[in-house]
Structure 1
Amino acid sequence: MHGTFLNRLHTYDINPKFSKRAAYFSMEFAVDQSLKIYSGGLGFLAGSHLRSAYDLKQNLIGIGILWKYGYYDQVWNQDHYMEAKFVKKEYSFLEDTGIIFPVTIHDSKVNVKAYFLPPDVFGTAPLFLLSTDIPENDYLSRTITHKLYDSNLAAKIAQSIVLGVGGAKLLDIIGSEPEVYHMNEGHALPLVFYLYSKFRSEEAVRNRMVFTTHTPELAGNEEHSLELLEEMSFLHCIPLDEVKRIAKISGDTLNYTLTALRLSKIANGVSEIHSKVSQSMWQGNEGVCPIIHITNAQNKKFWKDEVLEDALNTNNDELLVRRKKELKQELFKEVADQTGKIFDPNVLTLVWARRFAGYKRAQLLLHNYEKFLGLISRKHEPIQVIWAGKPYPEDKLGIDIFNYINHTVEQFDRCAILTGHEMKLSAMLKKGSDVWLNNPIPPREASGTSGMTASMNASINFSIPDGWFPEFAKHGVNSFIINSKPTDSWVQRDDQDNKELLRVLEEEIIPTYYRDPNRWTTIMKQAMCDVYPQFDSDRMATEYYQKLYQA
């Protein structure tokens, strides 16, 4: 039965240029609004990767987890503070493969069931999603695949085992052993120990493994005690002294990213800047593989507005401007529905929309409150501002920032904060914004792909030069740059970056939008031209084959 299943994995003929068999392991995939198994940028990136793999006819299979409660649903409580709500999700378009197999977690057998997303449902490479929420398991085992990024440490470790070991075992069961195993971030790390147990050779593991590291942030580079990992069966029953030898560990803890770098033949950062940051972080350690850069990208075919692209290709500025206003009106219907505020499509509209994390500084625009108040109260050449994004449900700082912005701006008619930042709202915000604001503390933004899809839809990036942005930005030509200089004090840096943000906004962006609409249109068009093809995921998926898989 499983052999027959293998024969119908790819509904397209494999392009000989991409015939090497690859399996892509990711904790989240954002392939469609209806499949709520993603939290943010990592998932958006993985979803675009699968779409481009489909378009390019690559011999790639995705491996993920079917999260029963998704990430979470972002709602308001009765006092208008953000609340994370967990609701069961059902998907009739997923195919039950009938494949159930055991993995070992905490020295106990846990049954894993495989579901399948056929390529033609959403236009992606074939995707398997693993679940432990089945009657064959006890209640505790069923909860392993309930919540993406569960805050319980034991649950998180168990999730990694399901993804890494479960994914590899599934591929063996269906007879589709890859030539390349690609870990998208370190979540699937138990995979390397499974492969070592299978091949009994470090070299055999390393020859098959490639790795993408996505962040310099501590939370994205997990580290736990070897004792705990051994107790949880993370190490796949390999003796500790052997684990220490193959992972080159001298202490009593294991770092996911460092171990992945030591047991892969090659790795990549997700922008030029990020690869350099990653090299400086890790390459002083023994046995680390080369870290190149393959800059993240997004699938233009999926994210673009067809009318905007037609207007660009036919050099029809009138259509471009008219369509942009229509898209603003569509976004403003959502603003009105959520907040009761009516926004004006003729007013310059800034959007800040991404995960609420401390280093991303969603509140930077409000840092000097008096100046912010003057900015959003001006009668001549006014602006409108929208925020959206989901903090991690256990991130108190991120939730506090979200609530602070909400209760600060809810009194202002020209400011709004929206909930439910998933693929549908994300697309509306990118298409309906005039300016896409991004102001992280550099160099902590590894990539920042939201700005790419904004540019694809004639929204002008206004950003600190971090992540992908320096590879794209030409100030006043296709974007606007907030120059940020390092300081010894975070408060001083916020002061300085806020001043520069306001200066560029007041002296360049606002006057250009209102007084020189022809130049504004030219900048929009240049952004749309410059973002393609370099930041389209077809380029990225091609580079993964050329630079990682065939290395």
Structure 2
Amino acid sequence: MKGMYTSSLKKKVAYFTMEIALDPEIHTYSGGLGVLAGDTLRSFADLEVPAVGVTQLNDEGYTRQELSDEGDQIDSKNEWEPEAYLERIPETTTVEIEDKEVKIGAWKKTVESSHHDHSVPILFLDTDLEENEDQFREITKRLYGGDQRYRLFQEIILGIGGCRILDEIGHEIETYHMNESHSSLLALELLKRHDMEEERVKDLCVFTTHTPEGAGHDRFNYDLVEEVLGDYIPVPKLKELSQEDNLHMTKLALNLSGYINAVSKRHEEVTREMFPDYSIDSITNGVHIPRWVSPSFGELYDEYISGWRKDPYKLKHAGRIPGEELWDAHSEEKSKLIEYVEKNTGIDMNDYIFTIGFARRAAPYKRANLIFHDVERLKQIAKDVGEFQVLFAGKAHPQGEMSKEMIKKVNSRIRDLREDIKMAYLENYNIELGAMMTSGVDLWLNTPERGREACGTSGMKASCNGVPQLSTLDGWWIEGHLEGVTGWKIGLDPEEKSEKADEIDAKDLYETLEEKILPKYYADKKKWIEIMKNSISFNASYYNTHRMVREYFLNAYS
């Protein structure tokens, strides 16, 4: 395997992403898209893929979340110090915005392989330079902040500015990989460089879409585009490439990419329905196993599964791990989590009580409140079948009022049930807390409305720590689910639809907890440990970014 990708690619892959999660102290991400980007670049380093990452600095972060006593999300800047983690590089470039020259600098961080000396540089674009006007100095400050004009500014910096600074540094790029459509303007930059030859640009571009929601695709009014971009590309040409009343960034990427993929098999189906005129493949997401395996499980794998860090597929041999040692490793991680909860919330939880985790970007379609559909039934299960406690976490977008209302409702239910079931909503969810939760709970809960989850990698992180999942059949879980083997499903099959989906799903969730999960956990420890092992050997061995990057190499990059 050594050198395979280095020798097969003549030049580099440039991986463009608006957000990236590399370190808990570098607040350049909001959720799963950024976490995937960080994991992908780690696997690039491990697999010796010649690559460079391009993102924006976001030195005011996404948002820092605090919760009031009533459960209201209070937002503030989540600032961090680039000087403490990154290296300023001397190369700069410029773009034109509103007929004014905007200078772009960059910072660099290098991602090192976990087992050899290959590394991948990541560039963080920065417009906070004294040569720029005040409004332009703000462009790379806040992730997903501001209005439409501000967002268009950011996408110009990422797409056009990112392309240009790679040239200034001297990177020779063979493939431009757009991780979501925020960087789609890079395709226009390439189009201009190649005499408007669209087929040549398609040979250079790969586009990964993560959004099964029509409203989630960025669109910009052509009047705004003309004001901001000027005559960079004539508006009639933009309309031809977008085929919409507004500049549709996803359509732009679709029309100028030679390879297009969704991020799970189900998401491929949904995306083909949304964009029927395009050839769309799927490469199911994964997680970087060495990053997400907890310390206790890492020691266990080191002892019983030699070489798992280099080749996560070896985790298929998890069955050889002694059951008691697996249980002890899990108990150690669970104790760390419970200690964190008690320290940060004051809620007294118990290591020996079955613990359910639900943590992800707060959005109404993810249905964090589904478990509360029938609170009397929930209380009865805890009283008659077995005690359980529940942990929630997740941030809403600062402008996402419906998402904030969802968080408030969940916290209201937590207060209402405090005498019957211990629950907590943990503030300021980040990758450090995510790692603690996905390794420390006993069951990972995921309840998205069907067809609305592109992939959902949190359950993959849980699986590499032996934590099974209970989830609606959507995203990756349609592929990773084996009933009673790797976890359990909730409610309807993927193709089924009902106006009473919430009611049906909640009823099935309660029945599965009551009849299958809690009895097994409390009365059949041997069987429960077997399911934990299956979660590792079936899912962690496959749903990882090493496998995912190999698929990109075979299908998109070569």
Q: Aligned pair 1:163/2:155, yes or no?
A: no
Structural mapping, 1:60-459, within 5 Å: 60-77=51-68, 80-91=71-82, 92-120=84-112, 125-200=120-195, 201-233=197-229, 237-245=232-240, 247=241, 249=243, 251-284=244-277, 288=278, 290-305=279-294, 306-309=298-301, 310=303, 312=318, 314-376=320-382, 378=383, 381-410=386-415, 412=418, 414-459=422-467
CA contact (8 A) 2:16 2:183 kept: yes
- TM-superposed deviation, 1:248: 5.8
Alpha carbons of structure 1 residues 248 and 64: separation in structure 2 relative to 1, 3 Å: closer
Alpha carbons of structure 1 residues 15 and 313: separation in structure 2 relative to 1, 3 Å: farther
Distance in 2 (CA, whole Å) between partners of 1:328 and 1:442 is: 30
AA partner of residue 408 (structure 1): R
After the TM superposition, which of the residue ranges 364-373 and 512-521 deviates more from structure 2? 364-373
Aligned residue pairs total: 529
SS state at 1:427 partner: helix
Q: Aligned pair 1:34/2:42, yes or no?
A: no
Which residue of structure 2 lines up, in the alignment, with residue 496 of structure 1?
A: 504
Q: Aligned pair 1:510/2:518, yes or no?
A: yes
Alpha carbons of structure 1 residues 18 and 381: separation in structure 2 relative to 1, 3 Å: farther
AA partner of residue 218 (structure 2): E
Distance in 1 (CA, whole Å) between partners of 2:523 and 2:13 is: 52
SS state at 2:120 partner: coil
CA contact (8 A) 2:27 2:59 kept: no
Distance in 1 (CA, whole Å) between partners of 2:319 and 2:518 is: 27
Distance in 2 (CA, whole Å) between partners of 1:308 and 1:74 is: 35
AA partner of residue 31 (structure 1): L
CA offset digits 1:483-512 (Å, max 9, x no partner): 3254452xx211111001111111100111
CA contact (8 A) 1:18 1:57 kept: no
**Structure 1 gap ranges (5+):** 1-11
SS state at 1:318 partner: helix
Distance in 2 (CA, whole Å) between partners of 1:270 and 1:361 is: 21
AA partner of residue 51 (structure 1): R
Distance in 1 (CA, whole Å) between partners of 2:27 and 2:488 is: 33
Alpha carbons of structure 1 residues 342 and 308: separation in structure 2 relative to 1, 3 Å: farther
CA contact (8 A) 1:206 1:265 kept: yes
After the TM superposition, which of the residue ranges 23-32 and 401-410 deviates more from structure 2? 401-410
CA contact (8 A) 1:75 1:419 kept: yes
- TM-superposed deviation, 1:534: 1.6
CA contact (8 A) 1:94 1:116 kept: yes
SS state at 2:138 partner: helix
Distance in 2 (CA, whole Å) between partners of 1:88 and 1:278 is: 36
CA offset digits 1:501-544 (Å, max 9, x no partner): 11111110011101111000000001110123321101111111
Distance in 1 (CA, whole Å) between partners of 2:9 and 2:55 is: 21
Which residue of structure 2 lines up, in the alignment, with residue 468 of structure 1?
A: 476
AA partner of residue 403 (structure 1): K
**What percentage of residue pairs aligned between the two structures are identical?**
34
Distance in 1 (CA, whole Å) between partners of 2:497 and 2:320 is: 47
AA partner of residue 112 (structure 1): I
Distance in 2 (CA, whole Å) between partners of 1:195 and 1:274 is: 28
AA partner of residue 295 (structure 1): T
CA offset digits 1:151-199 (Å, max 9, x no partner): 4111111110010011000111112131111100000111111111111
Q: Aligned pair 1:482/2:490, yes or no?
A: yes
After the TM superposition, which of the residue ranges 263-272 and 338-347 deviates more from structure 2? 338-347
CA offset digits 1:206-231 (Å, max 9, x no partner): 11111000011134312222222222
CA contact (8 A) 2:283 2:551 kept: yes
AA partner of residue 297 (structure 1): G
- TM-superposed deviation, 1:18: 4.7
Distance in 2 (CA, whole Å) between partners of 1:327 and 1:520 is: 17
Distance in 2 (CA, whole Å) between partners of 1:18 and 1:330 is: 44
**Structure 2 gap ranges (5+):** 305-317
CA offset digits 1:408-435 (Å, max 9, x no partner): 2135161111012111000000010110
Distance in 2 (CA, whole Å) between partners of 1:124 and 1:362 is: 39
For the aligned residue pairs, the C-alpha RMSD in angstroms reads 2.0
After the TM superposition, which of the residue ranges 26-35 and 402-411 deviates more from structure 2? 402-411
- TM-superposed deviation, 1:467: 0.4
CA contact (8 A) 1:197 1:236 kept: no
CA contact (8 A) 1:308 1:458 kept: no
After the TM superposition, which of the residue ranges 363-372 and 223-232 deviates more from structure 2? 223-232
Distance in 2 (CA, whole Å) between partners of 1:204 and 1:56 is: 28
Match of 2:39 among 48, 51, 62: 48
Distance in 2 (CA, whole Å) between partners of 1:407 and 1:476 is: 33
The alignment's TM-score, normalised by the length of structure 2, stands at 0.91
SS state at 2:356 partner: strand
After the TM superposition, which of the residue ranges 405-414 and 142-151 deviates more from structure 2? 405-414
Alpha carbons of structure 1 residues 477 and 79: separation in structure 2 relative to 1, 3 Å: closer
